[in-house]
Amino acid sequence: MYSNGTAQARPRKVTAPDLFGRKVRAGAAPIAMVTAYDFTMARLIDEAGVDAVLVGDSLGMVVQGLSNTLTVTLDEICYHGRAVARGLERAHLIGDMPFMSYQVSPTQAVESAGKMLKEGAFESVKLEGGLEVCEHVQRIVRAGIPVMGHVGLTPQSVHAFGGFKVQGRGEEAADRVVEGALALEAAGAYAIVLEAIPPDVAARVTAELGIPTIGIGAGRACDGQVLVSTDLLGLARGHQPKFAKRFAELGDAAVSALQAYVAEVQSGAFPGPEHAYKANGPTDADGAPKDLPPQALRH
Ligand code: KIV
């Protein structure tokens, strides 16, 4: 081991086994998880102390502007995974298995999950479904890849559900959610996302499982929460789900900043002398100009 004397201590990475142990009833702090799709956002999320970051197939809607997640590919998930991974020092990185990258067979599931770790820099994978994907989960876990489950409103089944609809309403539907979650735990999942189900059903699942539940639109009884980062930051425009609390209005802030930029470009106020290179300005040993602010030196 060598040191150049300047390296800063990096925070310890949150691992799948760490998250596996985060059961609130055992005294653990609830898990805070968010989605991310690029390096810049990943760095901010990591700095904020988020435990786990999901490169969700929601990128089809959030990044690509599509109406559902179905066309997202394994290569696209891996591309965004590599970018997000470069921004994370502490948070655990989870990759969402896209539609039709695992449903065909347990073998296909293992191959896709393996590709996500090799080409996407992911540390674990998430897939949607209950009983019907348990064999797939078992095989992926046996290959040494931690798996997060996802039951309730599973967006890849949007056409089967007839839209993005709350699941687990009524006794029979609630039992199906609980059975699916228990089967995923038995198959080796280390945690399970519960999406858009009534809070009492989420509470029942959370009480019956030994692994943590991470809710999105599933109430406060879960062992953690996950939100889409653009929703929670108020960057999203148009319709938003009821559960997506906006913790800031960064979309409005961005529009104001862009309007100010347009106005200064049009008036000639920008760029000012402080944003221009001097003819014979100082440079550092590598020849980079010293008379520009650090953010300008990145380009
Ligand atoms: O794709 C996604 O972002 C998700 C989360 C909302 C759980 O699956």
Residue 9's pLDDT band (boundaries 50, 70, 90)? Answer: confident
pLDDT of residue 294 exceeding 80: no
CA 251 – CA 215 distance, rounded (Å): 25
Instruction: Please name the residue whose Cα sits nearest to atom 4 of ligand 1.
Output: 56
Which tops the pLDDT comparison, 265 or 285? 265
Query: What pLDDT score does 281 carry?
Result: 72
For ligand 1, pick from 53, 70, 96, 157 the residue to mutate: most ligand atoms within 8 Å of CB. 96
Protein residue closest via CA to atom 3 of ligand 1:
56
User: Is residue 83 a contact partner of residue 76, using CB atoms and an 8 Å limit?
Assistant: no
At residue 7 the predicted structure's pLDDT band, cuts being 50, 70 and 90, is: low
Q: Sorting pLDDT into bands at 50, 70 and 90, what band is 284?
A: confident
Number of H helices, E strands in the chain: 12, 8
**165 CA → ligand 1 middle, Å:** 15
**CA-CA distance, 149 to 211, in Å (whole number)?**
11
113-119 mean pLDDT: 98
- Which of the listed residues 58, 66, 76, 147 should we mutate to test ligand 1's pocket, taking the one with most ligand atoms within 8 A of CB? 58
Distance CA 152, CA 45 (A): 26
Atom 8 (ligand 1) nearest CA: 56
Show the DSSP H helices in the chain as ranges.
Answer: 16-20, 39-47, 59-62, 74-85, 106-120, 134-142, 158-161, 171-187, 199-208, 229-232, 250-267, 294-297
Lowest-confidence region among 112-126, 150-164, 272-286: 272-286
How does pLDDT run across 61-115, given as a tens digit for each residue? 999 999 999 999 999 999 999 999 999 999 999 999 999 999 999 999 999 999 9
| Nearest by Cα to 214 from 148, 266, 136, 170 | 148
Average pLDDT, the chain: 94
Q: Is the pLDDT of residue 172 over 60?
A: yes
Atom number of ligand 1 nearest to Cα 33: 7
Residue with tokens 């959370």: 206
* Candidate from 193, 213, 230, 243 with most ligand 1 atoms within 8 A of CB, to mutate: 193
pLDDT at 299: 44
Work out the pLDDT band at 182, boundaries 50, 70, 90: very high
Residues with CB under 6 A from ligand 1: 35, 54, 56-58, 96, 193, 216, 226, 228
The catalytic site residues sit at 195
Q: Is the pLDDT of residue 168 over 60?
A: yes
**Model pLDDT for residues 210-253, shown as the tens digit of each residue:** 999 999 999 999 999 999 999 999 999 988 899 999 999 999 99
Ligand 1: residue whose CA is nearest its atom 2: 56
pLDDT at 297 over 70: no
Kindly report, residue by residue over 26-56, the tens digit of the pLDDT.
999 999 999 999 999 999 999 999 999 999 9
pTM score: 0.92
pLDDT at 134 over 90: yes
